[in-house]
Chain A
Amino acid sequence: MGGDGATTAGQAPQASAGEGQGGWHGLAADLAGDRQMFRVSWGKAMMWIFLLSDTFIFGSFLTGYMSVRIAATTPWPNPSEVFALTIAGQHLPLILIAVMTFVLITSSGTMALAVNYAYRRERGRCAALMMTTAAFGALFVGMQAFEWSKLIAEGVRPWGNPMGSAQFGASFFMITGFHGMHVTAGVIYLLVVARRVLAGRYESTGNYDIVEIAGLYWHFVDLVWVFIFALFYLW
């Protein structure tokens, strides 16, 4: 709480019960008191609640995909082969998705470092790392555009494809499309925040929570990809 400008104004006085307690006692005290519960800035709490809602959207999409795949009576295309590439005469199964996975994990690493440097108030490094993160994100979206173009050229459509079950196309475009949209929005979000950090907008208050909040969004995008990678591409 202390020193956090966003949470001090207009707050009811903090009850002393449960102050500083962790674990189950802290949880009971937090829920029982008529006061602020999470002890994080409102922006961070709101981002968590937004991400929770997004979890339900992606969870429902993946569950729907699982249902149509189990219920399909035609053979499901083998993702290992669908996403294979031939590079320098070498046939590499699933290589495109593997590279995309590593790009996204790398971007998550640079984002974590950016949050660290934000709290150290090294705004140049913070902004540079955020822009690096955004660049990796843009690279990911670029590779996804390549992946989509390749599949569309091979005749994959939301209503069918030449390799097997029609449900493959519907699931593929819906799930990867929605994830790609999140990455694109994240790239823009990161660039906007990075520009503000660089311009010194948060220097006067010293409140760099916004970088962590943007980081939460970015790590969530990476998190969703972990599930898509496992359930869509490895299944």
Chain B
Amino acid sequence: MSTATEAVPAADAHQQHPLGLYFKIWGLLFLLSALSYMVDVFQLQGALRWTLIVALMLAKAGLIVAVFMHLRWERLVLICVVVVPPAALLVLAGLMVLESDYVFTARMLYFR
């Protein structure tokens, strides 16, 4: 599909890329989803299960945001505006893990 890339003046004009790229990413997303389903089919447990779940999740999310949403072709300032604030959510999640561990312990000690 060489016609896709011609007459595109700059990356910030219109997001147009070869169709083959989308098909590759599409296939890759199918593969990664199948693999994450396999994690459940084979009932993997413990650290292995969590490593696979999180790694596959982040890989899929990265592909969707970078290619399907064209973020990798945007200017760095837009990438930062989109990617940096959600990092605050990781802080929230970390705090809530500590908090809910504490709530669980308190419930087990006093409310059972």
Residues of A within 8 A of B (CB): 1-4, 20, 22-24, 26-27, 30-31, 37-40, 45, 48-49, 51-52, 55-56, 59-60, 63-64, 66-73, 80, 93-94, 98, 101-102, 105-106, 108-109, 111-113, 115-116, 119-120, 208-209, 212, 215-216, 219-220, 222-223, 226-227, 229-231, 233-235
Contact = CB atoms under 8 A, between A and B. Distances in A.
B47 to A, nearest CB: 14
Given A226-B61, A226-B64, A27 B96 contact: no
Contacts of B48: none
Contacts of B76: 22-24, 26-27, 30
Interface string B9-23: 110111111010011
B88 to A, nearest CB: 8
B40 to A, nearest CB: 5
Contacts, number: 174
B2 to A, nearest CB: 13
Given A66-B96, A66-B100, 12 more contacts: A2-B10, A26-B76, A27-B77, A38-B81, A40-B12, A52-B81, A102-B30, A116-B4, A116-B19, A212-B15, A219-B65, A233-B40
Contacts of B41: 93-94
Q: Is the interface of A mostly helix, strand, loop or mixed?
A: helix
Contact of A230 (B54, B97, B103): B54
A215 B41 CA distance: 32
Contact of A226 (B15, B57, B96): B57
A113 B22 CA distance: 7
A222 B61 CA distance: 9
A230 B36 CA distance: 8
Contacts of A115: 15
12 contacts: A3-B13, A52-B85, A67-B96, A67-B99, A68-B100, A71-B101, A116-B4, A119-B15, A119-B16, A120-B16, A219-B68, A233-B40
Contacts of B69: 215-216, 219-220, 223
Interface residues of B, number: 61
Nearest to B15: A212
Contact of B64 (A49, A60, A94, A108): A108
Contacts of A49: 81
Contacts of A52: 81-82, 85-86
A231 B60 CA distance: 14
Contacts of B14: 119, 208-209, 212
A143 to B, nearest CB: 15
Given A27-B77, A71-B100, A223 B64 contact: yes
A223 B65 contact: yes
A102 B31 CA distance: 10
Contacts of A69: 100
A202 to B, nearest CB: 13
A94 B37 contact: yes
